[in-house]
Homo-oligomer: A and B are copies of this chain.
């Protein structure tokens, strides 16, 4: 049916079918201002023909001509990480009412894929880029290209203000403090901490917050009980790491009545490791996670954790982005840092310390 080479129905097909010119058809089907002038009968004829033929405008041609792609790139470091999707959902939500379309890409924790995705976004002329937390970002030279091309960029999940990029992230330090304070309030004195890997941005501030919470107390942390996660690639690996680290700690024969894990998956691994060693949570040992992702909510006992408002962060970021793309060519304002407030959500994996039964293997 369509005559054009592409196999797709074009304006020219509709024009031929109705006897009107391509311009007229375009004006009507795109709802241009000029369409106020066209006769109602014409409008009907053309609309009907378009529908009958199955016309769908070519987004590439339109976007080329209009000099606006109507697209905002969203690049996640790993979409399969339960942390990412809520952020993306926030973005999607914020874009719903607009006529921007999120182009979501997944770096799959691979540097090469990350760079390629960024390049492809640039080529598709996204009007803005939202990057979800990635260590990969600092070294990439594409960053320079993005700036050179005047595409506004935002990052959520880590602080890149030193590189001049407005950043949305959790107040990790306060989160760490909250988690530790919770355990202290429950009367725990022998506390183990599984710290985040050095290569990850969140690690240091969370740790710092925990130490700060201890400052006014007499509680100290034993070095054997503060191991560090290696740099991981998948959520599954964090689980395994938590599981094996807790087993090592049990072997160390240092008492502890509570464990503070770097994130929820690690915490779930800890629960598993404890269980395998015959310890029960929270009776023998309390466990606290971080982030509040789905697996932590649906596990039994549900994991007490520090909630990170990922959806909200995505939403706030995209709202900011919308203001940026609406004023094209404006001087990129100073990079700002937007901290979200963490919230402790108490669930079933923590309990009052049973003083007499402090865990001793």
Contacts and interface: CB of A to CB of B under 8 A. Distances in A.
Please list the 10 inter-chain residue pairs (A to B) with the smallest Cβ-Cβ separation, ordered nearest first.
A59-B123, A54-B148, A295-B295, A60-B60, A268-B298, A80-B85, A299-B299, A54-B145, A59-B124, A272-B300
Contacts of A268: 298-300
A92 B108 contact: yes
Interface of A: 1-2, 5-9, 54, 56-61, 63-64, 67, 69, 79-80, 82, 85-86, 88-89, 92, 101, 103-106, 108, 119-120, 122-125, 144-145, 148-150, 235-236, 239, 265, 268-269, 271-272, 275, 294-295, 297-302, 328-329
Contacts of A108: 89, 92
Contacts of A69: 60
A268 to B, nearest CB: 4
A321 B302 CA distance: 41
A64 B61 contact: yes
Q: So how many copies of this chain end up in the complex?
A: 2
Nearest to A301: B275
Contacts of A124: 59-60
Contacts of A1: 148
Contacts of A328: 7
A120 B59 contact: yes
A280 B108 CA distance: 38
Given A79-B85, A103-B103, A119 B294 contact: no
B123 A58 contact: yes
B125 A60 contact: yes
